Structure 1
């Protein structure tokens, strides 16, 4: 199977920029969220729709980033 309906965009969550990558594989949508710098994957989501997969992944990433301590 090949990924279809590939989408990539940037968004801000708090003070962090994140990349949101989503695609359809078969009848399921998948999404990964990573922080722009240093590019580490924060979360993944899966759902019946793109919106559902992105919502799940963004919620998980937002929770992780809200716990991040910022020095300085």
Structure 2
């Protein structure tokens, strides 16, 4: 049975082995945007951990990656 620490170590090693370039050309947060809102949600623990590890591997803040993901989703799902 794999413990949380072992799973984290495995994910960290996996992320470190991945290419350093991001597969998507995602927009970077606009530095002119100064007003920020708090956003919270619940994710499965394994998805949260994998997301965190991937952000570390890509040297990206989780907030910035979340913003990019939401912007992509908004572009793909117009009202």
Q: What TM-score bracket applies, with the shorter chain setting the length?
A: 0.3 to 0.5
Query: Highest relative contact order (Cα 8 Å, sep 6+), 1 or 2?
Result: 2
Bigger fraction of residues in helix: 2
Q: TM-score, normalised by structure 1?
A: 0.36
Q: TM-score, normalised by structure 2?
A: 0.33
